[in-house]
Structure 1
Amino acid sequence: TTVLGVNIEYASCHTGSLPVSINFQCWAARKATVRIYNDEKVEYL
């Protein structure tokens, strides 16, 4: 999945009226650990 942008706005509101976003995949599939080295090597743990 590619992220094209992240926009965060902060405001007080009631829990029932919180904005809804689009979620791709499930929670378990979105969690990962990555180690990025100075030589641009990427290791998925």
Structure 2
Amino acid sequence: MLQAYGCDSLVLSKTDQKALDEDGTELDVWVLSFETITNE
């Protein structure tokens, strides 16, 4: 399915940012990236 978007992998990266949920609990912020890995 990723190839349909020109990508071949997913990368989940934790940031140094925090966010508050609806109860005020501090949560880590993560980023999901769609990437192409070239083997050249």
Q: TM-score, normalised by structure 1?
A: 0.23
Q: TM-score, normalised by structure 2?
A: 0.24
The structure whose residues are more often helix, as a share, is 1
| Highest RCO, 1 vs 2 (Cα 8 Å, sep ≥ 6) | 2
The structure whose residues are more often strand, as a share, is 2
**Higher-Rg member (1/2):** 1
